[in-house]
Amino acid sequence: MGWGFGLTPFHMTMNNTTTTMYDTGDDEVTLVKEYKMSDIKKVTDYSKAMASVGATENSQGEKLVASVHPAVLIAWLNARGLTMGEFMSGGNDLAKQFLEDPDNSQFRIWKGRI
């Protein structure tokens, strides 16, 4: 089944650790990733620090728009009934929607118009 793209995920949180699993049918569950909520906070702290010092471009002059924990993106996609495969093949539209979502503002580094 690969990484479980297109399958319905469910999350279980215990002791500040969230486990993402996919129900693959046939009485099987595939464990994909465990992460701690503190891992997500590290990403938001990093994004805030980078924005506060104006570190919004790389050495080639490309904008550093955001730093996002994968679990946050996956949860955002799940809430919209989308898969990572759809996100990756959807061009920039879904990325723009994610980045412009006010709920994701803590991940933004460069605050300009996308």
Q: What's the pLDDT tens digit per position in 42-94?
A: 888 998 999 999 888 888 888 889 988 888 888 888 888 888 888 888 778 89
Place of tokens 């995920």: 9
Q: Are 37 and 80 in contact (CB under 8 A)?
A: no
- Please report which confidence band the pLDDT of residue 6 belongs to, taking 50, 70 and 90 as the band edges: very low
d(Cα 31, Cα 77) in Å, to the nearest integer?
18
Average of per-residue pLDDT across 96-114: 91
Q: Where along the chain do its domains lie?
A: 35-107
